[in-house]
A and B are shown apart, each in its own frame.
Chain A
Amino acid sequence: RKEVEQDPGPFNVPEGATVAFNCTYSNSASQSFFWYRQDCRKEPKLLMSVYSSGNEDGRFTAQLNRASQYISLLIRDSKLSDSATYLCVVTTTSGTYKYIFGTGTRLKVLA
């Protein structure tokens, strides 16, 4: 089992739709959680950190469920510019400290 798993997609949604992605992690001792966005042929950019109580940034809402070991990202009122790959990142201290990246979920917002 991979340490961090994401549905690769693609998720094709119309403009204005609400879309949600989940990311599961295997290490119950994982400490920090982040969502990154990666555009084609560009570097990953931090979208938001994920806090235990859940957090919101404009149209984006992130949730953490420690009991079920997953994090989620909700995007409301999708824009064409939201089209990208969304990477889930989990930090873990299994032996050595690492940031573990999921392989990403591809989102296409259609006009």
Chain B
Amino acid sequence: GAGVSQSPSNKVTEKGKDVELRCDPISGHTALYWYRQRLGQGLEFLIYFQGNSAPDKSGLPSDRFSAERTGESVSTLTIQRTQQEDSAVYLCASSLDRGMGPQHFGDGTRLSIL
């Protein structure tokens, strides 16, 4: 596809369960970013991948959050033992390279923890 693809679009799960969110970046984009956006608030940076370099994990809020990316392809964001405060929209973005041009966002995954 032409754009950033995220799945699932919506996820409802019970507190304490693990969830896995997926992001498929634009083909050729080496940089990939995950953000969290709570209702009515701004974007909160979580993690950044650039090619095969070590990811910048400085935004991950706790050790329940982790993310992986193989090469320049799909990334998964995993939240273990979900809590109600994890409820948010999780947005993925990609860009050509680190700082090369704008980021392009996927539609996001709306996560609701019951």
Contact = CB atoms under 8 A, between A and B. Distances in A.
Contacts of A41: 89
B42 A98 contact: no
B102 A46 contact: yes
Contacts, number: 45
Interface stretch (B11-19, B74-82, B105-113): B105-113
Contact size class for A?
Answer: 20 to 34
A98 B107 CA distance: 21
Given A93-B99, A96-B56, A46 B42 contact: no
Majority SS of interface residues in chain A?
loop
Nearest to A8: B42
A34 interface: yes
Contact of A46 (B58, B104, B107, B108): B104
